Structure formats: structure tokens, C-alpha cells
Structure 1
């Protein structure tokens, strides 16, 4: 599956990424931690399918709905389990590091906007040696509101001095990422095969099967730009 638009996109000035299932695979630990909290409250654990459909919002937005008045207790149970296990099972999505390298080599500013708690997000980036790629890693509770609100977008872009615009891509795997991109006036870019009712209201501008596919496109666009003369008519050499 290639990009939704019929035109090849221009290289952006900045890229914001979702984290889980976009750049890294830590799904098993997230689901296990949630089911641990559900079971502690006498609730039925969620299946794989249910988890992938429902785990999109940040914890502070979703847990009051799931656990009611006891949501802070469930929050602490989730965090205790997750903190003990999340670095053990962390894996990069295939092609993710090559994508980060491709943008970095072309001077594109990169940052993360995730609904994972900020301290866990930054610990995982450190574990992978990826902190060097990002101007800022914004997680849940770092900004005044969480994704899909625009507040974390502004926080993530602040070090670059780049304002939210169509010169900024938001790359993610879920409809909540596309919703955030639309709300902030960014270009929504979907990576992977995803389903959700939100895609009808917040469609991606471009869609790619894998990080490898997108990384190849970035290299081609960047190489084309690098050999163009100032008037765009030929080689600059």
C-alpha cells in the first residue's frame, strides 16, 4: 500500500512521530500491564483485538472511564507492572532506525508525541540509543493535555522554532495520530495496516506499509533535492 495522494510528497521541515507500534514494539508489555490492572479490579482481561482497538488515548484520559472512581489505584498498578517489564521486551519496528537516520541525514527536525507516560518514553529512547535523533520526546502528562490535543505538538516543535504547518509531518499508526495531525494543521502520514472508525473523519494524506518503504521515499526525495541547481533545472555540481 503506497501513499494515498497521487503526488509524491515534498521533504518536510520537521517530523513528529507516534511511538508505540510506529517506531517500537512494546505491545505485549502494555497489554499485560493493563490486564494486570483489570484483573486486580475483578474485570475481564482484554483480548489482543480489543486491546489494539481500545488502547489509543493516554492513561489519564482512558482510565477514569474504564475504572471509575478507583482509576488512580488502577493507574498505580499499571505503572508498577509496566516499569518492571517495559525495557525487557522493547524492540524497534523493522526499518524504524533507518527512517530516523534518513531524516537526520537531511537535516529534518524530529520529535515524538506519544500517549505513553513521558518518563517511560524517554527511558525507552535511551535504551535504544535513539535520544540523539529527537529535539524533544513528549509523552502523556508532559503537556497541559494529551494527544489528540494540539498542546503536545506545540511542545514537541518548540526547540526547532518551526510552527505547526503543512511543512510538518505527523507519522503514526492509529486514527488518533491522524486526528492530532488534522487538529494541528500537519500532514497526517499513516504507517502500517490499521483500522478504526476515526480514519473516515481524519484520513491520512499519505499511507505506507512499512517504515522501510517510507525511508526509501525519504532517501529518494532528499537525493533529488541535493542534486538540483538553485533554479531547480539541473545538477548543482
Structure 2
């Protein structure tokens, strides 16, 4: 089948945002005199939205809903200020996007990051590639709910089967499967190849340019 569109996850797939996210949350933890975490630890906190990350980062003894909500708001304010400070595209991503654009492949971003921040990062780091950048607006629509992915396919006038869904997590692979899109995992993100395959990846690529062969 010839694929006509690609939906990308953002963090761990298009960009390495680990340090900015970690720094923002660690700033919040430091302000409360709570233990901070390493970048390696945050690698496993990322993927289910920043509110979930806050819950995982807080000490278990200070993890009430009220505390999570308060720290989440503070973390968002911190992260908004630094979200493109250290965040960069992975090697080969810009070359990949240039190639896909030259083939008239439709491109979109669908992330569990807050919608405002998803749009900000996509606009600042990829100003010429994504008209469609959708983040989390309500918990109900969080991946692996396929609703937003299917809406993108409708806006493109494409069948879901004509679209590749690219991501670095089990949640992305489940989203692709739920949307009836072709799930492609990336090995350079925040999860292992085995995790991706176990969650439904039909293919796991080690370099962004490998995606061109699939298209």
C-alpha cells in the first residue's frame, strides 16, 4: 500500500525534550525540598502526559490529588518558559521531513503533551512542516484514545489504513492500532524495541530515514 500521511508523536520521536521536561519538574521538586530525579528516571515518566509525570515524580508520601494539581500548574509554568531551551530534533528528522514534503506526504503531530505546549514546540522547532499539531486538551482524549488521530485522517480525506503512526512508546503503538493505522516504533526514543513490538509495532526503525523506504 502507498501511504499518504504520517502522524508523529512528539517527545522521543521527533524531538529529544527529556532535559527540558526533567529540569522543569526538578525545579518544582527543589522548591518544595523534595528529592529530584535523574534524566534516566524521567525517561520512564514521560509518555502519558505531564500531569501523570508530576504524579510519578512526587514522593509517595506527598502525592494527594491536591498536591499533584498544584505541582502540575507550577510545572507547566516552569516548562512553558524553557520548553525549547535544550529540546532539539533528533539527527535525521529534518532530512526526513524534507523528503516527505517533497513527496507530498501529509504530516501531523499528535502528542499527550498539553496542546498549548505541543503547538509551541512544533511551531518553533518545525515552522515549515506541520500545520496540524495536536496535544492534550482533555484527559478523555489522551492517547491511546484514537479519536484525534482519526479526526486527522478525516481532515486529510484519507482512510486510516493510508496513514503511518510513528512513535516511541507503547501508548503510541496502541493508539495506532486503535485507529487502524500502521504502527511504526522508533528505537531512539524513551522505550525499548521489545516494549514497542510487544505493544503492537509492525516495524521498529533505528534511523529516521528508514521511514522513507516504508512510504
Tell me the TM-score normalised to structure 1 length.
Answer: 0.77
User: What are the within-5 Å matches in structure 2 for residues 31-180 of structure 1?
Assistant: 31-63=22-54, 67-69=63-65, 70-128=67-125, 130-141=126-137, 144-165=140-161, 167-180=162-175
Structure 2 unaligned segments of length 5 or more: list them.
Answer: none
Q: Does 1:17 align with 2:17?
A: no
Assess if the C-alpha contact under 8 Å between 2:173 and 2:201 holds in 1: yes
After TM superposition, give the deviation of residue 199 of structure 1 in Å.
3.2
Structure 1 unaligned segments of length 5 or more: list them.
Answer: 1-9, 222-237
Query: What CA deviation, in whole Å up to 9, does each residue of 1:113-148 have, x standing for no partner?
Result: 1112122221222222x2432241111116851111
Check 1:142–1:180 CA distance in 2 against 1; reply closer, same or farther (3 A cut). same
CA-atom RMSD, angstroms? 2.4
After TM superposition, give the deviation of residue 179 of structure 1 in Å.
1.6
Assess if the C-alpha contact under 8 Å between 1:109 and 1:135 holds in 2: no
Check 1:64–1:29 CA distance in 2 against 1; reply closer, same or farther (3 A cut). closer
- Larger CA deviation: 18-27 vs 37-46: 37-46
After TM superposition, give the deviation of residue 72 of structure 1 in Å.
1.7
After TM superposition, give the deviation of residue 189 of structure 1 in Å.
0.5
After TM superposition, give the deviation of residue 31 of structure 1 in Å.
0.9
- Larger CA deviation: 63-72 vs 98-107: 63-72
* 1:195 counterpart residue number: 192
Tell me the TM-score normalised to structure 2 length.
Answer: 0.84
